[in-house]
Each structure stands twice: as structure tokens, then as C-alpha cells.
């Protein structure tokens, strides 16, 4: 039996569904990992770092060249100025950055406004931190942020907003107007914003990602989290970072030192190399993902699944209610046998998974090779999807 802090948190849906894919030999359009690796130069840099002896503990805050490269990245892309010694902390993926931020900053009973659907680690870590979740729903069919709903979620006990843009699983990229609405509320109520921007480079159709920390009044109250995994197709490396004002970054480091203490040393050297020397690679990845998004969305539409065309990320959502399923989980559990394909029920990303608006949503990943997507679509097209 797990301790009460962890009870009621289901096992991460990604492990469950990926295990199902392996067990049944199904095509995995569920978990968001690419089936081709990141750039050769990045991988060679990690191998070189190991050969050069970068194999022992790194400083907890991260090796200096990586912190400097992260600061340069934020400057180059967004005009954000950071002191790499006080305003940057390297973490073991964005997952640890989220955990360390919540454990290091949130007092039991603090209310945290969070966009729903949410990435599942948020729920677990908010619960462990003793936080009170205040969800603000991004609603089908267009999954936009409603500023009125955001305002209504804030009470005198609210201290944080936990943001995610580009947003998993909806694929929404918050517009400057939506970000301004969040910033206005944060400034008015003196809230700290913790923002997960792991898909910062994976935006489509000429869009640009705007970090909320660049809005007026926000730099001093925003902790920005990101990671190399999605931008450079190395999701197994688990090198992430937290950037922002020194007092927020220090809280992350305080918690992080008791979690992993430090993050993989040779990978840190390689990521520093990539941020400085392979800066154009994520944009190429985004262009190729956009093509694969279009392939998957057109195919899903062709079989009557009417996907939402996402603005960023790896994912699209479809509603399967019209096919007669009680919920998305039931559909996803039947799918490997019926079609040899695995997808992810979006219920796992919601507080009230029985709510009619979310019950029937299913998430599909297009960060796969075109022939894998085509094979998945062929299988879906040949299967009976009605209950
Ligand atoms: C993948 C993902 C993460 C985890 O990032 P890692 O660097 O692999 O730990 C965090 N947040 C969101 C929204 C993600 O999709």
C-alpha cells in the first residue's frame, strides 16, 4: 500500500498504454516519444563527453557550460536576460523541474490554478505538495482559455498558476491575448506563474511561442520550465531546466538536491553543445512534425474521427462518443485487439473524468515516422470502430 500522499493517484496512463502496445504488438500512437532519434551531432557529443571522462557527479545546479547555454538560448529566442549562476537550474527532465518547483514553492493548502486537461505528473506532485487544485478547463471543440473562468478560479488562497503552453494534450498554443489575461490576473492577485514550455519549439503554421515571462510585470513572478527531450527528440535523456528570478530558482534547487541531487553529466555537456551549435534543429523538427500532423489529421478525418488540428505539440484529440463508447478508456482498451493500434484516453488528464465534455476524448501522437502513421491509419480504416 502506498502512503496516503500517493493514494488515489493512478499509475501514469503512458506506462499502462505503452505496456499494452508492447504486449499486443500494436502500433503505438499513444505515448509521446519520437521513433527516430535527435541529431547525430548531439548524440556524438554525449559519447565524446563520456570518452572524455565526464562521468561523475555534476554540480547540483548544473554544469556551468550548460547553464550558460540555456541563458544564451533564452536571450537569442526571446530576448530574456538571465544570470546563469543564479537564475538557471538544470533538472532531470522537465518532470523533475515540475516536482522540484511544486515541492520547493507550494505550502500545504495553497491553491494552484492549473489548466485542465493537465499533464498527469502535475496532479501527482500537487497532491504530494498538499496543494489545492483549482482547474480551469480548456473546452472542446477549440480548447481556448476563457479569461472569465480563469478569474473565477482565483480565491484569496490562490498563490500560483501552473501553465502549460504549447499545451499537452490539446495542442493549444496560448495566444498573446490569452497570455495577457493570465498575466493580468497574476499581477492583480500577486500570483507566481510556473510555466511548462517543453514544446516551445514545436509550433506550426508559422506561429511563434511566447514565454509568459516576457509580458510586462511577469519576469519577476514567472518560473519557466523546459527540457531537451521534445525539442531535440531525446526523450530518454531527461535533461531539463528551470529559469527565472533567483529566489524561485533557488527553491527549485533546494528541492532538487534531495530528489536526484544532480542530472546526468555527459548529457549535460551534449545539451550545452546542441543549444549552442544545433540551434536550427528544433525548427526543422517542427516543420516535419507539421507534415505528420497533417497526415494523421487527414487520415483520422477520413475514417470519421474528426480530429482537432493542433497548433503545436505532438498530439491531436478526437471525440469517440458518436461511435457508441461509454468513454475514451473503454475505446482505448479495445483498440489494440480491434485495430492493432494504441491511443491514450484523455480522461487521465482531467479531474472529473466522468464529465461529459471530456469522457470521450482520445489523444493520438503524430511524432512517429510517416510510414508508421500510415500503417496505423490503414489498420484503423480496416477495423470496426463502432462499439
Ligand atoms: C513530456 C512532457 C514533460 C516531461 O518532460 P521530460 O523532460 O521528459 O521530463 C513535461 N511536461 C509536458 C507537458 C510534457 O508533455
The answer to whether 224 touches 244, Cβ cutoff 8 Å, is yes
Tell me what percent of the residues of the chain surpass a pLDDT of 70: 100
Of 120, 29, 94, give the one whose Cα is nearest residue 367. Answer: 29
Mean pLDDT within 187-192: 98
State if residue 117 touches ligand 1 by the CB under 6 angstroms criterion: no
What is the structure's pLDDT at 1? Answer: 66
pLDDT tens-digit map of 295-331: 999 999 999 999 999 999 999 999 999 999 989 999 9
pLDDT tens digits along 66-100: 999 999 999 999 999 999 999 999 999 999 999 99
Q: Are 243 and 273 in contact (CB under 8 A)?
A: no
- Please, what's the largest Cα pairwise distance for the chain? 59
221 exposed, middle or buried (CB, 10 Å; 0-12, 13-18, 19+)?
buried
Name the burial class of residue 155, with classes exposed (0-12), middle (13-18) and buried (19+) by CB atoms within 10 angstroms of its CB. Answer: exposed
Whole-angstrom distance, CA of residue 263 vs CA of residue 260: 7
* Secondary element (H or E) of residue 223: strand 222-227
Average model confidence (pLDDT) across the chain: 95
Confidence band of 352 (pLDDT split at 50, 70, 90): confident
| Distance in angstroms (rounded) separating the CA atoms of residues 96 and 70 | 17
Pocket test for ligand 1, best of 13, 14, 93, 171 (most atoms within 8 A of CB): 93
Which ligand 1 atom is the nearest neighbour of the CA of 119?
Answer: 13
Q: How far is the CA of 385 from the centre of ligand 1 (A)?
A: 30
Give distance in angstroms: CA of 119 to centre of ligand 1: 8
* pLDDT on residue 257: 96
CA–centroid distance, 219 to ligand 1, in Å, is 22
Tell me how far apart the alpha carbons of residues 198 and 367 are, in angstroms, rounded to a whole number: 14
Q: How far is the CA of 198 from the centre of ligand 1 (A)?
A: 6
Walk across the sheet containing 222-227 and list its strands.
88-91, 240-243, 222-227, 192-196, 158-164, 111-116, 132-137
Chain segment 94-128, per-residue pLDDT in tens = 999 999 999 999 999 999 999 999 998 999 999 99
Note the pTM of the prediction, 2 decimals: 0.96
Left (φ > 0), alpha (ψ -120 to 50) or beta: where does 27 sit? beta
Backbone φ and ψ of 317, nearest 5°: -110, 145
Q: State how far the alpha carbon of 14 is from the alpha carbons of 98, 234, 256, 287, in Å.
A: 18, 17, 24, 26
Distance of CA 81 to the CA centre of its chain: 24
**Ligand 1 neighbourhood includes 164 CB (under 6 angstroms):** yes
Q: What is the pLDDT of residue 8?
A: 77
Residue 347, pLDDT score: 85
Instruction: Please enumerate in sequence order all residues whose Cβ is within 8 A of that of 169, keeping only pairs 6 or more positions apart, or say none.
Output: 117, 313, 315, 317, 344, 346, 349, 363
Q: Where are the alpha helices (DSSP H) in the chain?
A: 13-24, 40-51, 64-78, 93-105, 120-129, 147-153, 176-188, 228-231, 246-259, 265-277, 281-302, 328-339, 356-359, 370-381
Q: Which range among 116-120, 177-181, 200-204, 295-299 shows the weakest confidence by mean pLDDT?
A: 116-120
pLDDT-based confidence at 173, cuts 50/70/90? very high
Instruction: Report the atom number in ligand 1 closest to the C-alpha of 96.
Output: 9
Q: 56 by DSSP, 3-state: which? A: coil
Distance in angstroms (rounded) separating the CA atoms of residues 241 and 80: 15
Decide the pairing of beta strands 315-319 and 192-196: unpaired
Instruction: Tell me the average pLDDT across 204-222.
Output: 97
Yes or no: say if 80 and 73 are a contact pair by the CB < 8 Å rule.
no
Distance CA 180, CA 273 (A): 34
Decide: 31 in ligand 1 pocket, CB within 6 A: no
* C-alpha cell, 37: 532519434
Distances (CA, A) of 182 to 24, 80, 197, 203: 43, 19, 15, 20
Determine the distance separating the centroid of ligand 1 and the alpha carbon of 371, expressed in angstroms. 25
- pLDDT at 5 (0 to 100): 82
* Distance, first Cα to last Cα, the chain: 36
Which atom in ligand 1 lies closest to the alpha carbon of residue 238?
7
Query: Tell me: the pLDDT tens digits for 277-300?
Result: 999 999 999 999 999 999 999 999
Tell me what the mean pLDDT of segment 238-261 comes to. 98
* Mean pLDDT along residues 337-350: 91
229 CB within 6 A, ligand 1: yes
At residue 31 the predicted structure's pLDDT band, cuts being 50, 70 and 90, is confident
Task: With a cut of 90, say whether residue 376 has pLDDT above it.
Answer: yes
What is the SS3 assignment for 265? helix
Amino acid at each position: 500500500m502506498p502512503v496516503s500522499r500517493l493514494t488515489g493517484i493512478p499509475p501514469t496512463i503512458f506506462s499502462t498504454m505503452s505496456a499494452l502496445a508492447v504486449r499486443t504488438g500494436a502500433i503505438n500512437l499513444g505515448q509521446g516519444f519520437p521513433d527516430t532519434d535527435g541529431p547525430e551531432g548531439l548524440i556524438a557529443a554525449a559519447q565524446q563527453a563520456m570518452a572524455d571522462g565526464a562521468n561523475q557527479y555534476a554540480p547540483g545546479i548544473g554544469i556551468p557550460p550548460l547553464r550558460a547555454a540555456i541563458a544564451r538560448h533564452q536571450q537569442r529566442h526571446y530576448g530574456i536576460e538571465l544570470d546563469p549562476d543564479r537564475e538557471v537550474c538544470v533538472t532531470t527532465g522537465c518532470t523533475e523541474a515540475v516536482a522540484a518547483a511544486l515541492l520547493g514553492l507550494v505550502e500545504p493548502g495553497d491553491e494552484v490554478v492549473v489548466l485542465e486537461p493537465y499533464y498527469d505528473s502535475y496532479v501527482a506532485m500537487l497532491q504530494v505538495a498538499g496543494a489545492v487544485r483549482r482547474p480551469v478547463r480548456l473546452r472542446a471543440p477549440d480548447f481556448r482559455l476563457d479569461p472569465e473562468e480563469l478569474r473565477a478560479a482565483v480565491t484569496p488562497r490562490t498563490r500560483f498558476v501552473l501553465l502549460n503552453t504549447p499545451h499537452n494534450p490539446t495542442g493549444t498554443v496560448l495566444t498573446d491575448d490569452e497570455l495577457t489575461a493570465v498575466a493580468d490576473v497574476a499581477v492583480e492577485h500577486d500570483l507566481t506563474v510556473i510555466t511548462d514550455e517543453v514544446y516551445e519549439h514545436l509550433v506550426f503554421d508559422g506561429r511563434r511561442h511566447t514565454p509568459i515571462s516576457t509580458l510586462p510585470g511577469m519576469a519577476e513572478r514567472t518560473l519557466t520550465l523546459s527540457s531537451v527531450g521534445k525539442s531535440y527528440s531525446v526523450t530518454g535523456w531527461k535533461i531539463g531546466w528551470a529559469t527565472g528570478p533567483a529566489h524561485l530558482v533557488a527553491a527549485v534547487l533546494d528541492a532538487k538536491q534531495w530528489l536526484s541531487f544532480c542530472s546526468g553529466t555527459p548529457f549535460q555537456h551534449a545539451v550545452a553543445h546542441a543549444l549552442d551549435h544545433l540551434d536550427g534543429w528544433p525548427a526543422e523538427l517542427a516543420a516535419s512534425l507539421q507534415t505528420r500532423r497533417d497526415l494523421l489529421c487527414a487520415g483520422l478525418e477520413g475514417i470519421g474521427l474528426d480530429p482537432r488540428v493542433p497548433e503545436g505539440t505532438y498530439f491531436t484529440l478526437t471525440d469517440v462518443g458518436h461511435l457508441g463508447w461509454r468513454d475514451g478508456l473503454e475505446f482505448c482498451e479495445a483498440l489494440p485487439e480491434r485495430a492493432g493500434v494504441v491511443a491514450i484516453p484523455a480522461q487521465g488528464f482531467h479531474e472529473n473524468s466522468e464529465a461529459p465534455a471530456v469522457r470521450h476524448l482520445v489523444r493520438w501522437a503524430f511524432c512517429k515516422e510517416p510510414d508508421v502513421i500510415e500503417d496505423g491509419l490503414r489498420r484503423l480504416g480496416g477495423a470496426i470502430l463502432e462499439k
